[in-house]
Amino acid sequence: MKQKIFITTPIYYVNAKPHIGHAYTTVVCDVYARFCRMMGYDVKFSTGTDEHGKKIEQSAIKLNETPKEFTNNISKLFRDLLPVLNISNDDFIRTTEERHINTVQHFWNKLYDNGYIYLGEYKGWYDIRNEAYFDESELVDGKSPLGGEVTYMIEPCYFFKLSAFEDKLLKFYEENPEFIFPISRRNEIISFIKQGLKDLSISRTTFSWGIPVPNDPKHVVYVWLDALTNYLTVNGYPENEDQNNDNYWQNSIHFVGKEIVRFHALYWPAFLMAVGINPPKQIVSHGWWLSEGEKMSKSLGNVQDPVKYCKLFGSDALRYYLLRELPFGADGNFSLNNFINRYNSVLANSYGNLCNRVISFISKYANNTVHKPFTFTDDDINFSNQIKSCIEEAFDNIKNYSFHKYLEKLENAFTLSNQYLDNQKPWLLRNSDVKRMEDVLYVTLEQIYNITNALYPVMPMSSEKLLKSIGIDINNMHSEFPSIIQIVNPEVLFPRIDINNIEKFDVYANN
Ligand code: ME8
């Protein structure tokens, strides 16, 4: 039986249109999901939208819409982005769905029945934008440490006994050293806990756009408790009650941006422990994109629009750039100029050129056909071995979420392939040794095939296009390279982008 794995994106707030940062997390998860499927796993992959909370209620009022209308519209933008980015998710969850409301209320009752919820009163400085309370001592220049405006509020509210989990969490991290990735984030969480955990307020009465607390509907469930529970909803809880024996849950990986590690690596395991469910297998966190050197913001007009990139340059090019530019875990800068340079130097000049020149050479000078050679030269064997080790190294890197290194290793394979061709010179062999010319073309094409298979998780569209043009059915990809190859309707992969046209490319979101 196939080993199961459950991969999740965060569920995105519907207070703004999706931008390149959201696209990033979704693409990272998609690449990992496609890689795992390629390695033979049975993958469940979910994404969705986080739709409750005061902020969203207020945004809807501003537009003279009901929260439901407002969330329907923005959630649709996130959903519609998925096919544009070529995302292979199995589920799309909205927190306003009935199935999710049931799960949250069931989860709440479990927490309550197990004695981890009590009614109290909350006094403090509330940051509406970030939906969080702070003590006076935590404020920075009169604002919350997250930068939001704050108001002093007193409200009756339910608390979760987070303080009871200090030792349990520390023990859990100790026993599961890989739970938080990368290690630097793990250290931050551990030192946060060591400063002492306070109980967490988990209900609100100052607005109504949320999931009602069971048996006390004046309160709505705190948006983070609501949002985190989406992962269980997707995995069929509570009907699928025994998550500890569910192989998807036991192998679940939540990919998140670095700013929400605390919610996923601390609150979430504590909530789960309180109802007797094991924490997920791993929380994998990544860094943040700046846009052209600055924080993305509507007022600066520098919000990079993933849909526009896909329309102009294709989803594969965007997926490639997102993974190649940013060392996973670090912050980075998204720039159109850099995007075009990487595209031209790697996708057009190196990989695209390699594929296009071999395929068109076979069309023109080998009657569209190449056969497996009877014998291979030392050069052929060395070349094949070199590519094999590039691919092995690439896979070792992707397993550890080093997506940029995985691509770097495959780029080495493009370079080696171009070098092999340049050394073997099939264009000269055409006049001196046609048999050897064909052998060289076959050997190169076989390695193009291997590299293309390895690239598939990042560039599914062009991989399929290439395989089609060498007559290989997509369902047979990853199988042994056929001994006769016939070229059919080749298409040019990754035509060069004219950088002199850069001014003409409209890549920013309209406000
Ligand atoms: O936090 N660079 O939703 P959110 C990289 N609803 N990634 C970015 C980014 C940027 N500039 N901007 C956003 C929430 N992201 C909650 C999550 S989960 C139970 C609830 C990505 O819409 C990054 O992954 O603010 C971040 O974690 C996610 O979008 C946050 O999306």
* pLDDT tens-place string over residues 150-189: 999 888 999 999 999 999 999 999 999 999 999 999 999 9
Atom of ligand 1 nearest to the CA of 50: 6
**E strands in 323-425:** 332-334, 369-371
What mean pLDDT value characterizes the chain? 96
Whether the per-residue pLDDT at 266 is higher than 90: the answer is yes
User: What are the strands of the beta sheet with 200-201, ordered from one edge?
Assistant: 132-134, 117-127, 150-160, 200-201
Please tell me the distance between residue 86's alpha carbon and the centre of ligand 1 in angstroms: 19
The share of the chain scoring above pLDDT 70, in percent, equals 100
Tens digits of residue pLDDT in 298-313: 888 899 999 999 999 9
Atom of ligand 1 nearest to the CA of 268: 19
Please tell me the distance between residue 377's alpha carbon and the centre of ligand 1 in angstroms: 52
Radius of gyration of the chain from its Cα atoms, rounded to whole angstroms: 26
- The closest residue, in CA terms, to atom 23 on ligand 1 is 257
Tens digits of residue pLDDT in 398-434: 999 999 999 999 999 999 999 999 999 999 999 999 9
Please tell me the distance between residue 23's alpha carbon and the centre of ligand 1 in angstroms: 10
DSSP code per residue over 99-149: HHHHHHHHHHHHHHHTT-EEEEEEEEEEETTTTEEE-GGG-BTTB-TTS-B
Give the whole-angstrom CA distance, residue 274 versus residue 266: 12
Give the whole-angstrom CA distance, residue 278 versus residue 35: 26
Q: Which of 304, 325, 347, 335 is nearest to 506 (CA)?
A: 304
Whether the per-residue pLDDT at 16 is higher than 90: the answer is no
- pLDDT on residue 130: 81
At the topology level, CATH places domain 336-486 in Isoleucyl-tRNA Synthetase; Domain 1 (1.10.730)
- pLDDT on residue 477: 82
- pLDDT on residue 128: 82
- Ligand 1 binding residues, C-beta < 6 A: 10-13, 21-22, 24-25, 50, 227-228, 230, 256-257, 260, 288-289, 296
Please tell me the distance between residue 6's alpha carbon and the centre of ligand 1 in angstroms: 19
DSSP code per residue over 485-511: EE--S----SPPP-GGGGGG---BPP-
Please tell me the distance between residue 237's alpha carbon and the centre of ligand 1 in angstroms: 24
The Cα-based distances of 384 to 376, 381, 388, 424, 429 in angstroms read 10, 5, 6, 14, 20
- The closest residue, in CA terms, to atom 31 on ligand 1 is 12
Query: What's the start-to-end Cα distance of the chain, in Å?
Result: 49
Please tell me the distance between residue 427's alpha carbon and the centre of ligand 1 in angstroms: 52
Whether the per-residue pLDDT at 474 is higher than 90: the answer is no
Probe residue for ligand 1, chosen from 7, 8, 11, 12 as the CB with the greatest number of ligand atoms within 8 Å: 12
Please tell me the distance between residue 330's alpha carbon and the centre of ligand 1 in angstroms: 15
- pLDDT on residue 155: 85
By three-state DSSP, how is residue 80 classified?
Answer: helix
Probe residue for ligand 1, chosen from 47, 260, 266, 302 as the CB with the greatest number of ligand atoms within 8 Å: 260
- The closest residue, in CA terms, to atom 3 on ligand 1 is 12
Please tell me the distance between residue 442's alpha carbon and the centre of ligand 1 in angstroms: 46
- pLDDT on residue 15: 86
Please tell me the distance between residue 291's alpha carbon and the centre of ligand 1 in angstroms: 15
Please tell me the distance between residue 48's alpha carbon and the centre of ligand 1 in angstroms: 12
Give the whole-angstrom CA distance, residue 310 versus residue 305: 9
Residue recorded with tokens 């009169």: 142
Sign of the CA dihedral running 19, 22, 27, 28: positive
Give the whole-angstrom CA distance, residue 224 versus residue 234: 16
Whether the per-residue pLDDT at 131 is higher than 80: the answer is no
- pLDDT on residue 41: 98
- The closest residue, in CA terms, to atom 13 on ligand 1 is 21
CA 26 distance to own-chain centroid: 3
Strand partners for 284:
181, 255
Separate counts of helices (H) and strands (E) for the chain:
20, 17
Comparing 156-165, 348-357, 457-466, 476-485, the range with the smallest average pLDDT is 476-485
Strands 117-127 and 369-371: unpaired
Structure tokens at 319: 């997926």
Whether the per-residue pLDDT at 393 is higher than 80: the answer is yes
Strand partners for 25:
none
- The closest residue, in CA terms, to atom 26 on ligand 1 is 257
Residue recorded with tokens 């207020």: 58
- Non-local (6+) Cβ contacts of 75 within 8 A are 14, 49, 51, 94
- pLDDT on residue 338: 97
CA 222 distance to own-chain centroid: 26
Probe residue for ligand 1, chosen from 29, 71, 256, 335 as the CB with the greatest number of ligand atoms within 8 Å: 256
Give the whole-angstrom CA distance, residue 39 versus residue 43: 10
> What does the pLDDT average to over 367-381?
97
Please tell me the distance between residue 339's alpha carbon and the centre of ligand 1 in angstroms: 22
- Non-local (6+) Cβ contacts of 452 within 8 A are 355, 463, 466, 467
Domain boundaries, the chain: 4-286, 336-486
Comparing 74-78, 205-209, 223-227, 386-390, the range with the smallest average pLDDT is 205-209
Atom of ligand 1 nearest to the CA of 287: 5
Tens digits of residue pLDDT in 22-32: 999 999 999 99
Whether the per-residue pLDDT at 476 is higher than 90: the answer is no
By three-state DSSP, how is residue 359 classified?
Answer: helix
Give the whole-angstrom CA distance, residue 404 versus residue 406: 5
Residue recorded with tokens 């979101």: 509
Whether the per-residue pLDDT at 92 is higher than 90: the answer is yes
- The closest residue, in CA terms, to atom 21 on ligand 1 is 22
Whether the per-residue pLDDT at 445 is higher than 80: the answer is yes
- pLDDT on residue 490: 87
At the topology level, CATH places domain 4-286 in Rossmann fold (3.40.50)
- Non-local (6+) Cβ contacts of 415 within 8 A are 350
> What does the pLDDT average to over 208-212?
97
HSE value, Cβ hemisphere, 13 Å, CA-based, for 502: 10
Whether the per-residue pLDDT at 369 is higher than 90: the answer is yes
Give the whole-angstrom CA distance, residue 54 versus residue 209: 7
- pLDDT on residue 213: 98
- pLDDT on residue 82: 98
Please tell me the distance between residue 504's alpha carbon and the centre of ligand 1 in angstroms: 30
Q: Which of 257, 258, 236 is nearest to 246 (CA)?
A: 236
Which residue type is seen at 126?
Answer: Y
Q: Which of 111, 342, 360, 363 is nearest to 221 (CA)?
A: 111
CB of 324 within 8 A of CB of 26? Answer: no
- pLDDT on residue 132: 80
Atom of ligand 1 nearest to the CA of 16: 22
The share of the chain scoring above pLDDT 90, in percent, equals 91
